[in-house]
Structure 1
Amino acid sequence: MKFHQRTPFVLAILRPVRPLLIKTFQSIQRWLKERDIRRRSRVEEMSSREQLEEFFDTLRAYDPGLPMIRLGGQGDGGYVVPDDLDGLAACISPGVSTVADFELALAGRGVPSFMADASVDAAPADHPLFDFEPTFVGTEDAPGWTTLESWLRRKAPDTGDLLLQMDIEGAEWPVLGAVDRETLLRFRMIVLELHDVHKVFLRSGLDEVGQVLRKLLDDFEMVHVHANNNLQPVRRHGYEVPPVLEMTLLRKDRVRRRTPVDKLPHPLDVRNNAFVPELVLAPYWYA
């Protein structure tokens, strides 16, 4: 019997123990992340409870007075955003990888997308509103690399609001830390997949993450946040920090009403991994 013929039989055997396997895998994930924090704590200063409390006090999610919609797929590649897309000049999408559901949804509303990713040879889908460059977005211009500012000057429309959708596997922290305010203000909306968020338990990580988020929140409101359940939270000082978060920010001049969000996940949120329970963020992440 060939392997593909045995697959239903194997799945039937594993089905009763799948919850136990998932729980075991999650425990291993958490242990590895926490071990990494402990290992680094031997040479790096750890964040205190008071410093973490101050950090979380800066995070507030607000209902912007606009309907929320889901753009993209029902798992990874889909995001909850305000329905404030009319008149957007373009989407800027570094780190597109092999999924373009978000960009295809925008194309359906007439919004072109400029994509960049050197890990793939071409855009994930062929569409007349797609422009693709096989390059990475970083903090300097070099062979195979471009800064966000240089890319916008080269490709983006000169006028009109833009949307930034960024998923660059941890490089978002230095890129956003280096980008100038004038460039950021070109974006009406910023949709991020934030990686290695659990590094806030290290003082150096907390400084980097806190600096970037404070910079963004000077001109944008956080209107949605969702934990990616592919990696389990790391725990310390009474706080749970998912290593990967999805975050949507809306420029403050687009906010119609600033009402605090008092409950998450949002009804439009979808588990990134359908086989793993949803991660429910504690209120200190948004309220």
Structure 2
Amino acid sequence: MAQRGYKVLEYDASIDKGPYNHPNICFHKKFVGLQNSDNMTTLEAIIENNELDSALPNILQIDIENAEWDIFERIDMELINQYFHQVIFEFHGCNPEEMLETKRKLEILERINQCYQPIHFHFNNHGKIFYCRNLFFSVTLEVSYLRRDMSENLMHYGYRKKGIVEGFDFPTHPANPEIPIRFC
């Protein structure tokens, strides 16, 4: 995105500097959370401090190693809906054997689905993998969403029924095979 001329904001307190050096990338050594502190900032503060324009096609990408569930359980979805056309998640800990957590996570996904339509889904093949009913599943899911008011025109094309999108989906762990998607 930086090479295409877009401003990229990176937030991660677990590393000392951003992994990429580009004039369009601005790295902040902070976690994103529900409160402001020395090593944490809120989404509201990010929007304000970086003067995000809600009219622009902003994209929010979230890969926060299982903290996404706590944050999105309490975050203001209308704020996200106002500022971000797309949201890209890596959901961790999607273990169907954990019934109470599964119920909680489904409720959080329902909150997201009120504002956003999933447009792409990919199993992350690095981590715990299940085999059930002749299908493989991963506990880590990569999901791209588009704001519902923008996605309605696209949905008449229908959904992908199965498979890997060649040239787009790549294994997270190259030594492990890709996990195909089959919707029933």
Q: Could you state the TM-score of these two structures normalised by the residue count of structure 1?
A: 0.57
Distance 1:206 1:156, change over 3 A: farther
Letter in 1 for 2:112: L
Instruction: Tell me the equivalent position of 2:159.
Output: 260
Q: What residue ranges of structure 1 are gaps of 5+ in the alignment? A: 1-105
Instruction: Tell me the equivalent position of 2:86.
Output: 189
Pick from 120, 128, 133 the counterpart of residue 224 of structure 1: 120
Q: Quote the Cα distance in structure 2 between the aligned partners of 1:276 and 1:236.
A: 18
Q: Quote the Cα distance in structure 2 between the aligned partners of 1:124 and 1:158.
A: 26
Q: Quote the Cα distance in structure 2 between the aligned partners of 1:254 and 1:224.
A: 15
Distance 1:109 1:190, change over 3 A: same
Report 1 or 2 for greater relative contact order, CA contacts < 8 Å, sequence distance ≥ 6: 1
Does residue 132 (structure 1) correspond to residue 132 (structure 2)? The answer is: no
Identity %, equivalent residues: 26
Deviations 1:213-259 (A, max 9, x none): 11111111111111111124235798854111111101122222211
What root-mean-square deviation, in Å, do the aligned CA atoms of Structure 1 and Structure 2 show? 2.0
Instruction: Tell me the equivalent position of 1:274.
Output: 174
Whether the aligned pair in 2 keeps the contact of 1:197 and 1:241 (CA below 8 Å) is: no
Moved more, 143-152 or 234-243: 234-243
- How many aligned positions are there? 178
Q: Quote the Cα distance in structure 1 between the aligned partners of 2:93 and 2:134.
A: 18
Does residue 155 (structure 1) correspond to residue 50 (structure 2)? The answer is: yes
Q: CA deviation at 1:167?
A: 0.7
Q: Could you state the TM-score of these two structures normalised by the residue count of structure 2?
A: 0.87
Whether the aligned pair in 1 keeps the contact of 2:162 and 2:182 (CA below 8 Å) is: no
Whether the aligned pair in 2 keeps the contact of 1:197 and 1:245 (CA below 8 Å) is: yes
Q: What residue ranges of structure 2 are gaps of 5+ in the alignment? A: none
Whether the aligned pair in 1 keeps the contact of 2:161 and 2:182 (CA below 8 Å) is: no
Bigger Rg over Cα: 1
Letter in 1 for 2:154: R
Q: CA deviation at 1:191?
A: 0.9
Letter in 1 for 2:87: I
Bigger proportion of residues as helix = 1
> Secondary structure, in 3 states, of the residue corresponding to 1:210?
helix
Deviations 1:68-101 (A, max 9, x none): xxxxxxxxxxxxxxxxxxxxxxxxxxxxxxxxxx
Distance 1:231 1:191, change over 3 A: same
Q: CA deviation at 1:273?
A: 1.6
